[in-house]
Structure 1
Amino acid sequence: MGTRNAKKIPSIWAGQVALLLVILGICEVLVRTETVSSLYLPAPSQVFRELFKLFGDGEIWKHLYVTLAEFVAGYGIAALGGLAVGMALVLVPWAERFFRPYLSALMAIPKVTIVPLLALWLGIGITHKISIVFLFCFFTITVNTMTGIKQTADNHLKVAKVFEATRYQTIMKVILPSAAPTIFAALRISAATGLVGALFGEMLASKDGLGNILVKATSLYNTAQAFAIVALVTVVSVLIISLIDWLERSVFLKWKSA
């Protein structure tokens, strides 16, 4: 079965590449035949030229670094905080009942209404962007951590109790391995939304970052450059999610089997 699946992987990749080329080809034809104006949809060749131009002058690296720094800081704090808070709310008997109304109320607040206030409280520096990324990620990770822990099978907990496992051993050997798939799902979702949060903050108020370039491109009606930034962000997002998938396979699965 494993060999059969391994043989299918190259054909799946080939199909994915073929589909992407077909879509890009259709877009190219639509623009070149002026069926669609390049003001609204640039040709893929124009987008690639803009990407080469952005990387050619080297200016893009500074903006990419700023966006990634904001994302990594905010996402890291949200991941650690979400895991810690989610575990505490479930593992401490009274905590979830006491804090759930507050957690639900905070989750219900639209993030877009908080962002201007964050700018008022924190200014428009990197702390502002980190806070936005944190808001976009924290609640998803917290709720999924709670859900994953609650899905731990009672039989597994009973076996740990029979073998006189300590509280720490029960958490590390039983609860976290059971909750890990749900937690990693939240980490993947939050990675994409967190990067969007960093861009959103930069688009509102920033002198640097990919969001700042995107605002300038759209204000000048440079649609090709705007699409180039969107394509770059998409690639970065896919790479980040792939890294999380790799961590799940190489770290969690080995830890679980051990």
Structure 2
Amino acid sequence: MGNKKKNRLSRIIIGQIVLLFIFLGVCEYLVRQEIVGSLYLSAPTEVVKEIVKLFVEGDVLHHLGITLQEFFGGFLISAVAGIATGLVLVLVPRAEDFFRPFLSALMAVPKVTLIPLLMLWLGIGLTHKMVIVFLFCFFTIAFNTITGIKQTSENHLKVARVFEASKFQTIMKVILPSAAPTIFVALRVSAATGLVGALFGEMVASKDGLGNLLVKATSLYNTAQAFAIITLVTIVSVLIIAGIDLLEKKVFLKWKSS
């Protein structure tokens, strides 16, 4: 059974790689044959050359470091605040009924429209971008935490009461483990949207970061460099989500089983 599963997974990965190369080959052909202008689409080989150029000749590591600093600062704060808010709203009687309409209204506000206003309040530095990332992530994490906690089995809670578990023990041993799958889904979604939030902030008002670098590339009609930056952002996003997956498997599952 294990071998069948491995073989199936191998076939899927091979199929994905083949599909990716076919897509890249079509893009390369369209640009080389001038079916699509290089102003609108860049050949994958040119994008690869531009990526190498950014690392060898440019200061892309500096810009990447700035973007990651903004992202992780806002994301970690939003994760802690979102999980804590979800816990409080569910565990404190009537708190959710009172505060949920306000949270829903704030979540409905388009975050992009707040970026210029936040710029007036906070300037264009690190704090400005961290707050943007926070706003992009917080509500998703908070509402998913609420949903996850409400899915906790009543039988598990009864067992905790029978063994006279404290409130803290019930939260750590029963409630959070039960809600964790839903919370980790929120963390994965928020990781992608939070990175987009950081880029938006940099594109609107920043002297550094990948978003600022992307604006410069498009303003100079450097399509290859723009696609290179987009590719780099995509890779970073995939790695962050993979890191969250690894955290769930290596850390949380061990904690849950213990």
- Aligned partners of 2:255, 2:248: CA distance in 1, in Å? 10
What runs of 5+ residues in structure 1 fail to find an aligned partner?
Answer: none
What is the aligned-residue RMSD (CA, Å)? 1.0
Cα distance, 1:159 vs. partner? 1.5
**1:91 counterpart residue number:** 91
The DSSP-based 3-state class of the residue aligned with 1:50 is helix
**1:147 counterpart residue number:** 147
**2:42 counterpart residue number:** 42
Moved more, 4-13 or 146-155: 4-13
Is 1:196 aligned to residue 196 of structure 2? yes
The DSSP-based 3-state class of the residue aligned with 1:36 is coil
Cα distance, 1:45 vs. partner? 0.7
- Aligned partners of 2:6, 2:236: CA distance in 1, in Å? 26
- Aligned partners of 1:68, 1:112: CA distance in 2, in Å? 19
- Aligned partners of 1:206, 1:137: CA distance in 2, in Å? 21
- Aligned partners of 1:127, 1:83: CA distance in 2, in Å? 21
Cα distance, 1:58 vs. partner? 4.5
Is 1:240 aligned to residue 214 of structure 2? no
Match for 2:111: what amino acid? K
Structure 1 residues 91 and 3: alpha-carbon distance in aligned structure 2, compared to 1, 3 A threshold: farther
**2:64 counterpart residue number:** 64
**1:7 counterpart residue number:** 7
- Aligned partners of 2:165, 2:76: CA distance in 1, in Å? 30
Identity %: 69
Is 1:226 aligned to residue 226 of structure 2? yes
Is 1:127 aligned to residue 123 of structure 2? no
Structure 1 residues 174 and 2: alpha-carbon distance in aligned structure 2, compared to 1, 3 A threshold: farther
Cα distance, 1:154 vs. partner? 1.0
Match for 1:140: what amino acid? T
- Aligned partners of 1:110, 1:67: CA distance in 2, in Å? 21
Aligned residues: 258
Runs of 4+ in structure 1 off by over 6 angstroms are none
Cα distance, 1:194 vs. partner? 0.4
Q: Is the 8 Å Cα contact of residues 71 and 194 (structure 2) preserved in structure 1?
A: yes
Cα distance, 1:12 vs. partner? 2.2
When the two structures are superposed, what TM-score results if normalisation uses the length of structure 1? 0.97
What runs of 5+ residues in structure 2 fail to find an aligned partner?
Answer: none
When the two structures are superposed, what TM-score results if normalisation uses the length of structure 2? 0.97
Match for 2:103: what amino acid? L
Where do residues 66-215 of structure 1 align in structure 2 (5 Å cutoff)?
Answer: 66-215=66-215
